[in-house]
């Protein structure tokens, strides 16, 4: 979700910028750069994942002036790259998206927080929960992590957006969202389907490129 910077209070812009800076700095310091240097093709996955998010976000709905709504695709990105690289790839995609829709870079940190950080953290938590289950099955990874993870990530973004509307004092948007809350169900399934379909295809045909997939854990005896 992208909100025009003119609607954001200054303190929210500064706070989200600080959060994005610290998160991306930590992700960059902890990212597996040695593995990427060892296999340069992995860098293509990072750039390709960023491009995928950008193209998906461009399929946005401009229902309200100065507010852009779109699908996320972050769950698939986290499952493919891991959380740290997903945060960095999402940051790159966020700045590119702002440039394409002719918006100020100052609005990027809040959009990144809602579109990448929150759903990415939820997706990683879902993957951790799936890996901890006593049942080790490939479908648990693909459907639990991809499909259910995508839906929960979108739900977390919706909840975060409502909180932001309240903090902004955008009562009109907040009341409109609450009055139309059943429409959320129409967004959750497509988000889960997009992520589930993509991660299933990649896991089945290209399991080596999916960082969070452990074939010995899910397919071993």
pLDDT tens digits for range 111-143? 999 999 999 999 999 999 998 888 888 888 999
CA dist 196 to 1, 175, 190, 214, Å? 21, 32, 10, 17
- Residues of the chain short of pLDDT 70, as ranges, are 63, 220-221
C-alpha closest to that of 212 among 117, 75, 114, 90:
75
What integer pLDDT is reported at residue 221 of this predicted model? 56
CA 102 from chain centre, in angstroms, equals 21
pTM, full prediction? 0.93
Domain 2-219 -> CATH class = mainly alpha
């Amino acid at each position: 979700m992208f909100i025009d910077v003119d609607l954001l209070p200054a303190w929210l812009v500064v706070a989200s910028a600080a959060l994005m800076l610290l998160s991306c700095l930590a992700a960059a310091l902890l990212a597996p750069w040695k593995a990427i240097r060892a296999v340069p093709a992995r860098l293509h996955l990072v750039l390709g994942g960023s491009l995928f998010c950008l193209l998906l976000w461009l399929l946005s709905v401009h229902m309200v002036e100065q507010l852009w709504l779109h699908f996320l695709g972050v769950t698939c990105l986290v499952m493919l790259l891991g959380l740290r690289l997903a945060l960095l790839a999402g940051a790159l995609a966020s700045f590119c998206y702002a440039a394409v829709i002719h918006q100020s870079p100052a609005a990027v940190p809040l959009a990144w927080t809602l579109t990448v950080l929150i759903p990415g953290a939820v997706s990683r938590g879902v993957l951790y929960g799936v890996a901890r289950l006593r049942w080790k099955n490939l479908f648990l990874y693909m459907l639990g992590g991809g499909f259910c993870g995508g839906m929960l990530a979108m739900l977390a973004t919706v909840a975060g957006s409502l909180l932001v509307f309240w903090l902004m004092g955008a009562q009109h948007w907040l009341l409109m969202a609450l009055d139309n809350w059943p429409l959320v169900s129409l967004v959750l399934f497509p988000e889960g389907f997009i992520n589930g379909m993509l991660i299933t295809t990649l896991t089945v045909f290209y399991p080596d490129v999916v960082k969070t997939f452990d074939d010995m854990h899910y397919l071993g005896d």
